[in-house]
Amino acid sequence: MYYDSRPLMNEGTPAKPAEGSGEMLWGFWYPALRSDRLHGRQLQRTTLLGVPLVVGRDGAKKPFALRDICPHRAFPLSYGQFDGALVECAYHGWQFDAHTGQCRHIPSLTADAKLKCDRIYAGSFPCEERDGYIWAFMANAEGRALGPTDVPPPVPELPTFSPRYKIAHLAADLPCSVDHGIIGLMDPAHGPFVHQAWWWRSRRSIRDKAKQFEPIPNGFRMSPHAPSANSAPYKILKLITGEPATTTIDFVLPNQRFEQVRAGRYWLSSRTTVTPIRGDLCRLDFVVAWNILPWFPIVSLIIHVLGPRFIRQDCEVIEKQSLGLAHENRMMLVDDADRQARWYFELKASYLESQRTGQPIRHPLAGPVTLRWRS
């Protein structure tokens, strides 16, 4: 739930729950696992949106994701054997097609048994590999097959702008609900307090900001602009490339923040996702690609040293915040600094509404808007 700033501050309007607050969004691709965690015919366990998954790769290296619950007696399939095509439950040996979840064999059945085992399915989820992650399309919690006309959208892809580039991945667990994880991601006001460092910014560097935003499908964009002059990495970028940089930041439902920095022919492109694991736990995944001086490790160094430091600072804040959230689940969304958080809640509510009604999403932004805050 959240408070509107003005009515609350001035009139004491009671808190109303935000529609869709805390809910997880079905019908999207989510990163389930890093690609490099899957070796050979190993089965790996993971959880997305509260659903236990067993993930593996078939003989042709194509990944699959099954609900990690045997339909016979709920034994986790991840304890079983995998021969490259069929997953065999370790309890009574039922075998399931790794991609469709269809049951192929029940060892206890006699030759003249009437039961048609191919009518039994383990839950399964469309699964693809992209940008170093295994993605699962979470249409529903049971892993029911999609209808013939329900084709999942393309798997999210990190935009890149030249054939050769470097890529790096970082991850962290966030002990909070997906909403707090996501609004923390788009919150401009915590920077000077949480990410203080002499080479980056401090409380003293707080200044007025005005940024233009525009609606994009399922999200909103901070229009291309010159990067914050008080951030050292951008100064370094300018020094290296000799060209003025522009940065564009998008948020797209359900959980993706894209940031692109372009300076002449140089570019850096990142995506941060906050994926709900359970109601009170998320995983932050950060992937970044760049072509700035690939032969000189300065950017790589910045990313491998500063990236984890930034993420650690955000994690520490969320860990401490969870102490308070255990007692109080209301929040205040105050003016333009929290406007993006408000748009996120509105987009989410519109998405849930459109799923109920079949109508297109009502976008919270009618057109370009300028937001002003100090950070």
**199: how many CB neighbours lie within 10 A of its CB?**
10
Tracing tokens 């002990």 back to the chain, one arrives at 175
186 binds Fe ion (CB under 5 A): no
Supply the minimum distance, in Å, between the C-beta of residue 113 and ligand FES: 15
In the bound state with ligand FES, the residue whose beta carbon lies nearer, of 28 and 94, is 94
* 96/310 with CB nearer ligand FES: 96
Q: Which residues of this chain interact with ligand FES, rule CB under 6 A?
A: 70, 72-73, 75, 89, 91-92, 94
Helix (H) or strand (E) holding 15: none
**Nearest to 168, CA basis, from 268, 265, 241:** 268
Residue nearer to ligand FES on the CB measure, 2 or 94: 94
Among 88, 314, 336, 338, binds Fe ion (CB under 5 A): 314
Q: How many CB atoms lie within 10 A of CB 39?
A: 9
Query: Least separation, in Å, of the C-beta of 107 and ligand FES?
Result: 9
Q: Which of 128-136, 156-164, 250-258, 312-320 is the region at the interface with Fe ion (rule: CB under 5 A)?
A: 312-320
Q: Which helix (H) or strand (E) holds 352?
A: helix 339-357
Q: Which CB atom, from 75 or from 373, has the smaller least distance to ligand FES? A: 75
Q: Which tokens is 113 given?
A: 């048994």
Of 57-65, 102-110, 261-269, 310-318, the window that binds Fe ion (rule: CB under 5 A) is: 310-318
* For ligand FES, the closer CB: 72 or 195: 72
What string marks each residue from 261 to 300 as x (binds Fe ion by CB under 5 A) or -? ----------------------------------------
Would you report the helix, strand and coil content of the chain in percent, each value rounded to 5?
25, 35, 40
| Count of alpha carbons within 13 angstroms of residue 78, beta-carbon side | 18
Q: How far apart are CA 233 and CA 216, in angstroms?
A: 28
DSSP 3-state of 179 = helix
Residues that bind Fe ion (CB under 5 A): 314
